[in-house]
A and B are shown apart, each in its own frame.
Chain A
Amino acid sequence: MQTLLFLILFPILVACLLLFVKRTTSRYAVVVLSALAIGGASIYLLMRYAFEGAVYFAAPSETASLAMVAIEMALALFIIYMGAKFRNYLAIGLAVVQAALVVYLEMTFSENLHAINNLFIDQFSIIMALIIGIIGSLIAVYAVRYMETYHHLHPEVRDRQGTFFFVVFAFIAAMFGLVFSNNLLWIFFFWEVTTITSFLLIGYAETEEATKNAFLALVMNLLGGVAFIAAIIYLVAAGPASGGIDLAAVLASGDAAIILIPAVLIGFAGITKAALMPFSSWLLGAMVAPTPVSALLHSSTMVKAGVYILVRFAPVFAGTLAGVSVGLVGAVTFVVASAIAISQSNAKLVLAYSTIANLGLIAACAGVGTHMLVWAAILLIIFHAVAKSLLFLGTGAVENRIESRDIEDMEGLIVRMPKMAVMMFIGIAGMFLAPFGMLISKWAAIEAFVQVPFGIVFVAILAYGSAVTVFFWAKWMGKLITVIRGVEQIEKGFFEEPWIPLYIITGLVIAAAFLFPVISSMLIEPYVLVIYGVTAGLAQTNVAIMLLMMALLLFLPLSFALFRKSAKRLPAYMGGRPATADLHFEGSLGMTREAQTRNYYLTTCFGEARLFRPGAAVCIILILASWAFAGVAL
């Protein structure tokens, strides 16, 4: 239990320390050392508890719970203050409703608010802890130098780096708390803390846009928070049959009809936090924040909290129409967000839409909730966290050098920033190509959906969705590896972010593809086995073939040596006109003209304007349907 408490409390300690560290070098030292400690502790957690199954701890609850309520009230006051300052009355309203509900709960049911075990750890929590502890702290390390550069490039932004890193580490602490808590009130507390921390990080630049988007995120997540606390009140009011505020007891409750309503409400909270449609706009708006924030929100924290809770409740959703509706929200989000990603040329927006799409896929798996789908969902969480953090950090590093985050401007990155291009190439491959991770999960998901009623709807959506996914990733990849002439390398910059986090994460993308059978058999399969009594996984021969493909991919670049020599180089074909290697050709009247290449964005088919609203409308209907189905089941 000490490790768990350490992982929750130590980041808070570091956060407070960082408030007072002013110099970049000393801040860097602090962040690196604590990253090592946090990462190390998460790995220790893996070694200590991987084979133990679920272990529960009766952590001291009285004082801790009291402190949490106090902090919740303080946070509510803070939101009210901020809301008043920026005239956002909706935020104030939601904060008041939420605080009132918490007070009502504490007053009315005070004797029922004790879980026997407040903390726990199982294989799923270990996986989440590894993601938070390793990816999260690597992003923090990267952020130190990045923020220095950021303030150099944006002198107009007030330098509040002390606060920034305080919030980042508080965020990490809250995430650990969230995945280790067995007490639903505790989960709710940490849930709310992540809402506030993301609000603060998104609004960091203090521009009008940043503030607006920060409030958008706040309002949407508060809405989810209201649903969450409502679910807890429902559970407590329903009496002992529901399991009360003990997560394990709730999940094990035999009375499926009673816990379905709170499950759907908590699922709704998960939908808001995971930025599924119609709540995707907060995550899209969040890209105004400095890039490490996006990396954090998209890969290891925030949205992962949303899908974490959905996957936890998957056994409750399984086999219910309410669950199918929740799953469909995810599936529709998956296909619509993937399609919109085609029309975007802003790298961060493409990444954001792809995150939304993948979270949708995870939610689809969790909503339908069979054993194979939960297996796929957890695998998706892992692979997405690794590959997406790499892509965000890469995009950030590129942006600091070429001063653009437009994919068109990344043309020929393989020549200009070869190492970065290769890393981003691997990251993108990790997102959609066999034999990398995401594809394994998609594959497992297709196999699993075929076997359930209504599964054909999901399969159809998945078929279109993965076709669309190939398009937008491959054209980005193409831009990266285009070999252009007559440009210089700009990999070395004046201010350098440490690239070690990037190297490590790149290594993790490849390692995850090689090690997924181990991850699966050591962590995911036992977890699934305990819940469903059956286990899932890929057939041995297929795993062997995937590994073979992976090895082949790693060796193929050696063949470059074959082509090095002896080939004659000519400029590209330009309609038969005399041309040069940098795409200039002789036009009419002796003029030299330049040809340029641009990707297709197919805006008329896949534009945001055309798809977002219908997608959101369908998802709203599906969410309402999930409530209706849960109500009917009662």
Chain B
Amino acid sequence: MNRIMGAVIFLILAPLLGGLIAGIDRKITARMQGRVGPPILQPFYDVGKLFEKEKVVVTTAQNFYILAYLIFIALSGALFFAGGDLLLIIFAFTLAHVFLVLGAYAAHSPYSHIGAERELIQVMAYEPVIILTAVGFYMVTGSFYVVDMATTTIPVILYLPGVFLGLAAILTLKLRKSPFDISTSHHAHQEIVKGVTTEFSGSTLGQIEIAHWYENIFLLGIVYLFFAWNPVIGIIAVAVTYAAEIFVDNVTARVRWQAALKSGWLAAALGIANLAILSYMVYGGA
């Protein structure tokens, strides 16, 4: 019963929290750039307005894929907060992103096509780290279930510092922040026509935003798991990590896809080194 509650609470609160975080993010970013910045609630106003816009499409099919994207992002997040199997959650998460990419493909537009391919490169760049994160948690806590990871008394971060750094690196990519925001970016100054989301407008674009909020909360949830043995430290760690991401976002410029891919895979290599040492400790070299 608790688990279903977790999922339901996630489904209701995550967009609110995600939007709020996005608002704070914009405020801090603006301050870093010497601007005043929009009100904290601005993301909600934006998305609200998107839903009032005229429905315009290149092809009707594109909306279908975005709906599927939103549903599966929400589903993977809900499974996460219900304490489900982390590997299954990761696969559902990948499925969701494939839907986003397919939506961009379906529209048959030069800009969204390039965005779609770049999104796929991003998926390719971050996937190894995410899988290794799940494996790392298993090696430390003995379970693939989020519920066990969240209730463990082991300070997981001490065993998986390499994996955590790897995850932090690809988090930049997942939060669509510089320097790895190669498929679409929050920043106007480094975006070629909004990449993967070029052809989406109105309520469909609103759905993409909401999916992004869901996604961010889910990702921050994974960050929290590293510190789950102590909730206070956990929440502070999540805040610090996110602040660091904002900082990196503002001091770097977008890199080419090659660099993004290499960085993602190097981050995974770091994780592997970490896990190899851990496995050496477990099996004693045999």
Q: Residues on A close to B: CB < 8 A?
A: 412, 414, 433-435, 439, 443, 446-447, 450, 453, 455-456, 459-460, 462-464, 466-468, 470-471, 474-475, 477-479, 481-485, 539, 541-542, 545-546, 549, 552, 556-557, 559-560, 562-564, 566-575, 581, 583, 595, 597, 599-600, 605
Contact = CB atoms under 8 A, between A and B. Distances in A.
A562 to B, nearest CB: 8
B47 interface: no
A482 B139 CA distance: 42
B233 interface: no
B21 to A, nearest CB: 27
Nearest to B275: A456
B91 A477 contact: no
Given A597-B108, A597-B110, A549 B92 contact: yes
B105 A567 contact: no
Best-surrounded residue of B58, B71, B88, B144 (most CB of chain A within 10 A): B88
Contacts of A567: 55-57, 60, 63
Given A475-B120, A549-B92, A462 B110 contact: no
A554 B31 CA distance: 47
Contact of B105 (A435, A482, A541, A581): A482
Nearest to B58: A572
Contacts, number: 188
A583 B110 CA distance: 8
29 contacts: A434-B88, A434-B91, A434-B92, A456-B135, A456-B275, A459-B135, A460-B275, A463-B132, A463-B135, A464-B268, A467-B128, A470-B98, A470-B120, A471-B120, A474-B102, A477-B98, A482-B106, A482-B108, A545-B84, A545-B88, A560-B60, A566-B55, A569-B58, A569-B59, A570-B56, A570-B57, A572-B109, A573-B193, A600-B117
Given A450-B138, A552-B71, A556-B67, 7 more contacts: A459-B131, A463-B131, A467-B125, A477-B105, A478-B106, A542-B84, A556-B64
B222 interface: no
Contacts of B131: 446, 459, 462-463, 466-467
B283 to A, nearest CB: 5
Interface in B157-195: 193
B110 A568 contact: no
B91 A464 contact: no
Interface string B72-98: 100100010000110110011011001
Interface in B237-286: 258, 261, 265, 268, 272, 275-276, 279, 283, 286
Contact of A583 (B104, B108, B121, B135): B108
B68 A556 contact: yes
Given A556-B71, A568-B56, A478 B105 contact: yes
Contacts of B276: 456
B210 interface: no
B112 interface: yes
Given A463-B127, A549-B92, A477 B102 contact: yes
Nearest to B280: A456
B180 to A, nearest CB: 15
A475 B135 contact: no
B52 interface: no
Contact of A541 (B54, B84, B108, B123): B84
Best-surrounded residue of A462, A474, A574 (most CB of chain B within 10 A): A474
Contacts of B144: 447
B87 to A, nearest CB: 5
A595 to B, nearest CB: 5
A567 B61 CA distance: 11
A501 to B, nearest CB: 27
Given A466-B131, A471-B121, A481 B283 contact: no
A563 B64 contact: yes
